[in-house]
Structure 1
Amino acid sequence: MPDNRPFSQWDASSLPVIAFAPTSHAVLYHNPAAAHLEPGGLIAGLPSEERAALLSALDGQSGDPVFLHAGGEVYSPLMLPAGGCTLCLFQAVTGYYNRTRDALDQALMASEAKTTFLSEMSHDIRTPMGAIAGLTDIALSQPGSPTKVTECLKKIKVASEHMMSLLNEVLDMSRIESGRVQIQPEPTNLSDLLHEILIVARPQADSGGLRFVLEMGRIARENLVLDSVRLKQVCLNLLSNAIKYTPRGGRVDMAFAVLPAGDGDSVTMHVQVKDNGIGMSREFLMKLFTPFEREEKSSVHKIQGTGLGMTITKNLIELMGGQIQVESETDKGSCFTLDLPFTAAPDPDIDGSLEGCKVLLLDSDARQGDLTLSLLKELGMECDWARSAMDAAAYLNDCDLFGTRYQFLLAAEKLEGAEMALLLPELRNRLGQDLPILLLTDSDWSQIEYVFTRSGVDGHIPLPLFKSKLASLLSSYAGGAGRGAPPAEVRCNLSGLRLLLAEDNDLNREIAVELIGESGALIDCAEDGRQAVDMFQNSSPGYYDAILMDVQMPVLGGLDATRELRALARPDAKSVPIIAMTANAFVEDVKKSLEAGMDAHISKPLDIDKVLSTIDSLARGRRP
């Protein structure tokens, strides 16, 4: 029997203490607190890695911290030399170990997810880059075939837009994680907001062979204070996901409502996006909002994406004070529900002059026709509703017989029994040249304007239909106002304007000069901000109609150059429009540009139509 007297001081310790013999590692002593560890069989009962670590520590070999699972707890042993043996004090660290292990597991998972993400991003970016490079080579090899070159250029544009969307998602996620994304609420009309969402989502659904259904609920207020850019981003991400992950022949539903939330101007926006697509597994739902995660399905791997969209969506919803819920089942589809709190903005006054006006409505859609009829009655207007070409002919005959006069004609894009593009010119001839004919459409007006304006249509009213928007547009056309203007040109005519372009990148400068120059503007170029300031200062007052300014340039950056320009002692220094054209595309970048004295901010890659319209509105607006 071993002599335990040298160790008696440890008998009353609450820490488990065991004395091990050198070399053999036999147990020489243990105190009562260590009895539950079954000291005699402790070493043999440990997992192999923990057993090896403990034996190394007992032999005096230093190494990584040792953690032992024994007696239902996790212990960290402390070795103390004691008269030819080693005392081992077992400190319970279960809570610390579990917290550390969870954090380590999460870090390892995040690291693994990022590694996977970088691998997939490399593939996803190389795919459009490869297409761009290959199509460029094809176009260069076919100089005598304009049709082939044009086809290649169109495909290059699609590939570049896809690559830009990938980069934007990565940048958005980076800024969200660093807390630099800001919500910028402002009064917004829901009619415009919803229409802008639908003209993107509906064509995507159509091209995917899907049925898209919008279910409008109660709209308590039509004008809200919100960040329309971020809200559109959230809704379009949910809709594009539903469309991407729903096979051809499927269905995507969007429900939209604005409900009162207590007293005053508080409301809750309710948005639900539902599909009958491939759905998600219960396991993946647990990781749905984790960055870089994508479900391991062959059907998913065929679809391009970064695994960041839902993370960005959830973060933006939370920044707006809302919440998102999701239900999904594999091969049955998914349903996302958003509830977002907003404050209502004042609704515009309704024009009372519309009361008593008579409208001819052409629409075969019973549901949409009922809604239009109801809103017209709320405005105090009278309406004859033609559900087919036969009905329209009957109403026209009544006009001839009884002298009925209409103040407006509202037409859907399609009418049973007639080709609308052929029917409308006939109606124009029968009803007179001064009658406003307005198209009710959920299509992108810019895509159909050419056809319908040449069929006699004066303008359009975007769907879904809202009372305030309907009243506003009808008022603008009342009495023939708004008629006779030619259709807007796709590109602005800037002939007669002289512009100063400050851009340090040769290729960007060449692109800007070529595209803007097609509008007829004369363009002088500066390669940095200092050169731009000198060229403006050496010109006569009023010589430049606008300045296009890159932000990041050598010698003198665009912001500092703008400040110097505004401080010059000449009459046009304060008034000449200065437009930022920069790759810095975030809210705070726009704010910095405006604070420096710029009049507008356009992010790269340039939307040339936006550039031209901005120049036109700012430069021509200052001319007498």
Structure 2
Amino acid sequence: MSEDNVKDKETNSGLAENDMERTVIERAIHDNVDFIGYIDVKSGKIRILRHNDTFFNDDMELVSDYDEAIAHLINEHMLDEDKSICHKMLQLANIVDTVNMFGEFTGTFKLFHENGRALHYKKFTLRYLDKKAKDVLIAVQTDITEITTENRQMQDAMRGALKHAESISRAKSQLLFHMSKEIKTPLNTIVSMTELGKGRSEQKEYVNYCLDKIEASSKVVLDMIENVRALSHVENNDIQLNNDVVLFQPFIETVAGKAKADAYAKKINFQLEVDPNVAKCFRFDADRMRQVLKNILNNAIKFTKRFGTITLIVKCMAEKYGRQSLEISIKDTGIGIEDSFKPRVFEAFSQESEDNVYGGSGLGLAICNHIIKKMGGIIDFDSTKGVGSTFRINVDLDVATSTYQLKDDEEDICRGCRVLLAEDNEINLEICQQLLVARGMDVDVAENGQEALSLYMSNAPGTYDLIFMDVRMPYMDGLTATKKIRSSGKSDSKTVPILALTANARDEDISQSFEAGMNAHLTKPINVEDLYRCIEKALRGELARHTGN
């Protein structure tokens, strides 16, 4: 096809007359495509209108042979594994058949430069210049490397996310399977020891033995439930931290004391070492830190054999601007961790032993990692198989001045206090009442919010030192009862501490309690230490004041 023939075709075929085809070319030009050309179907000649692509020779003639141009492109710039199929696809006869059948030929191909660098993705589109004459094809080549690369990266990311989700799903299924087995053991112990104790109730020593077993097994079940609940907070990114004033020495000694008792029961030596430069008092979330240390210490005890050693070490690494950088280390002489498992230590549902020989849910360390990160700290570890492990927590804490000094005559701060307890569940009511009575408190009981409100209103101001309010109760719920107490106008209506008791621990639940006028939010099942600690804070006036809207 000569240049004159092509020019005549442009005029006679009516490129200007065919608005749709003209629009296609104009759009292609505006899109800065690599190549635009005409192909004469009969002669097989290609006329290059425009190209700015290094894949075409700069000295390529304006009118060239299509087969030669395509052969050069395939042989010089296509991958070996693509050459055969591209030779077939890009044959002019095949293109013409495709355009006749579908109105357009479109193909995407991978090209590389002669120096072997940078793979490019090109899209070829061909259609008739004049659909009626069907003798001239317009060919457009567009570089789609960027969008193709982005799509591939997105697909890879989606595949990775899907693979991770599938892995988590398998792990959760495995967790449920293991937990169903794990929870059977302590539950069987609770049921069996209850029956055995009832059958020999006259033998006090044996009954105490049964109660000890029931208590230990109950704690195992509660730990499992607490870890699963904590994981839901982690996955929803709604872990909330309190900023308590904490006397550090009593705090760490209490944590160590419980671990020491468990370690000694397995004939494991336990040591506590605290740097004398560690401040006496800090501001941090004591409950969350206790949870972290408890999880790590439990693992150390679990994986350390008899006559081994566990050491809890606290060091002050630096002090600046009213803050101390603490390093809390837990070192054991346990079985250690395999190198292959180390990258997954802090992943949820991960366990080194597939057969779950040592028990557990595989959640503890994942939760610890999230809590410490939330505190602005770092948790890491060193471990050698067969030698032992050391887990380290590095965190900066604000040094605080203690606002409360315990006096000798204040050991029974709860004794003699009068408490209003609103709870509709008979078992929860009995448990809570007995825990309060055990601390020397006098307890008035209400079975719903309406009864609680009536008892409060019928007694003189100052009668109750604090009020426990279940959130969900019949007739009137705890939130409504609290709002009515706060708005009652009695002289102590804004100051009497009201503590929520509920199984709901989501952020919105806590917010609802505070908005109603409650001073604290305690979750069920009741943790005795948390309960007593909260009561002591309430009686000292250390709880935040929420007087409702």
TM-score tier (shorter): 0.5 to 0.7
1:559 aligns with 2:479: yes
Cα offset for 1:248?
2.8
Aligned to 1:103: 157
C-alpha distance in 1, partners of 2:324/2:540? Answer: 41
> In the alignment, which of 501, 504, 508 is matched to residue 581 of structure 1?
501
Aligned to 1:92: 145
The alpha-carbon distance between structure 1 residues 319 and 522, as it changes in their structure 2 partners (threshold 3 A), is closer
C-alpha distance in 1, partners of 2:306/2:48? Answer: 80
Aligned to 1:320: 375
Cα offset for 1:549?
0.3
1:175 aligns with 2:233: yes
Cα offset for 1:563?
1.9
C-alpha distance in 1, partners of 2:172/2:384? Answer: 29
C-alpha distance in 1, partners of 2:169/2:108? Answer: 29
What is the DSSP-based 3-state SS (H/G/I as helix, E as strand, rest coil) of the residue aligned with 1:605? Answer: coil
Stretch moving more, 82-91 or 281-290: 82-91
C-alpha distance in 2, partners of 1:339/1:616? Answer: 30
C-alpha distance in 2, partners of 1:155/1:526? Answer: 32
1:126 aligns with 2:126: no
Cα offset for 1:576?
4.7
1:116 aligns with 2:170: yes
> In the alignment, which of 15, 18, 42 is matched to residue 82 of structure 2?
42
Larger radius of gyration: 2
C-alpha distance in 2, partners of 1:3/1:281? Answer: 71
C-alpha distance in 2, partners of 1:267/1:620? Answer: 27
Stretch moving more, 233-242 or 608-617: 608-617
What is the DSSP-based 3-state SS (H/G/I as helix, E as strand, rest coil) of the residue aligned with 1:122? Answer: helix
C-alpha distance in 2, partners of 1:135/1:92? Answer: 65
Cα offset for 1:35?
4.7
C-alpha distance in 2, partners of 1:225/1:513? Answer: 32
Contact 2:376 2:395 in 1 (8 A): yes
- RMSD across aligned positions (CA): 4.9
Unaligned 5+ runs, structure 1 = 17-26, 47-57, 349-468, 477-481
TM-score (norm 1): 0.59
1:281 aligns with 2:338: yes
Cα offset for 1:606?
2.0
C-alpha distance in 2, partners of 1:182/1:335? Answer: 28
Aligned to 2:350: 293
AA in 2 matched with 1:560 = T
C-alpha distance in 2, partners of 1:568/1:336? Answer: 53
C-alpha distance in 2, partners of 1:347/1:149? Answer: 42
1:193 aligns with 2:114: no
Aligned to 1:382: none
Contact 1:2 1:28 in 2 (8 A): no
Structure 1 residues 516-542: Cα deviation after superposition (integer angstroms, max 9, x where no partner): 578784543233x34533454456767
What is the DSSP-based 3-state SS (H/G/I as helix, E as strand, rest coil) of the residue aligned with 2:345? Answer: coil
The alpha-carbon distance between structure 1 residues 316 and 565, as it changes in their structure 2 partners (threshold 3 A), is same
Structure 1 residues 121-142: Cα deviation after superposition (integer angstroms, max 9, x where no partner): 3134323543465456546766
The alpha-carbon distance between structure 1 residues 267 and 2, as it changes in their structure 2 partners (threshold 3 A), is farther
Aligned to 1:409: none
Structure 1 residues 20-66: Cα deviation after superposition (integer angstroms, max 9, x where no partner): xxxxxxx99738665555378516689xxxxxxxxxxx9999xxxx9
TM-score (norm 2): 0.66
What is the DSSP-based 3-state SS (H/G/I as helix, E as strand, rest coil) of the residue aligned with 1:205? Answer: helix
The alpha-carbon distance between structure 1 residues 620 and 79, as it changes in their structure 2 partners (threshold 3 A), is closer
AA in 1 matched with 2:366 = T
C-alpha distance in 2, partners of 1:561/1:575? Answer: 15
The alpha-carbon distance between structure 1 residues 151 and 45, as it changes in their structure 2 partners (threshold 3 A), is farther
What is the DSSP-based 3-state SS (H/G/I as helix, E as strand, rest coil) of the residue aligned with 1:291? Answer: coil
What is the DSSP-based 3-state SS (H/G/I as helix, E as strand, rest coil) of the residue aligned with 2:518? Answer: coil
What's the % identity of the aligned pairs?
25
The alpha-carbon distance between structure 1 residues 44 and 181, as it changes in their structure 2 partners (threshold 3 A), is same
Aligned to 1:245: 303
Cα offset for 1:118?
1.8
Contact 2:350 2:362 in 1 (8 A): yes
Aligned to 1:386: none
C-alpha distance in 1, partners of 2:84/2:309? Answer: 62
> In the alignment, which of 438, 441, 445 is matched to residue 524 of structure 1?
445
The alpha-carbon distance between structure 1 residues 531 and 87, as it changes in their structure 2 partners (threshold 3 A), is farther
Cα offset for 1:565?
0.8
Cα offset for 1:7?
7.5
> In the alignment, which of 275, 287, 300 is matched to residue 229 of structure 1?
287
Cα offset for 1:599?
4.9
What is the DSSP-based 3-state SS (H/G/I as helix, E as strand, rest coil) of the residue aligned with 1:283? Answer: coil
Unaligned 5+ runs, structure 2 = 1-40, 57-66, 87-97, 129-133, 542-549
What is the DSSP-based 3-state SS (H/G/I as helix, E as strand, rest coil) of the residue aligned with 1:336? Answer: strand
1:508 aligns with 2:428: yes
What is the DSSP-based 3-state SS (H/G/I as helix, E as strand, rest coil) of the residue aligned with 1:160? Answer: helix
The correspondence of residues 312-391 of structure 1 with structure 2, limited to 5 A, is 312-346=367-401
> Aligned pairs, how many?
461
C-alpha distance in 2, partners of 1:256/1:207? Answer: 24
Contact 2:108 2:123 in 1 (8 A): no
C-alpha distance in 2, partners of 1:334/1:575? Answer: 50
C-alpha distance in 1, partners of 2:259/2:394? Answer: 20
The correspondence of residues 384-533 of structure 1 with structure 2, limited to 5 A, is 497=418, 500-509=420-429, 511-512=431-432, 521=442, 523-527=444-448, 529-533=449-453
Contact 2:469 2:499 in 1 (8 A): yes
Cα offset for 1:564?
1.0
C-alpha distance in 2, partners of 1:488/1:543? Answer: 19
The alpha-carbon distance between structure 1 residues 176 and 619, as it changes in their structure 2 partners (threshold 3 A), is closer
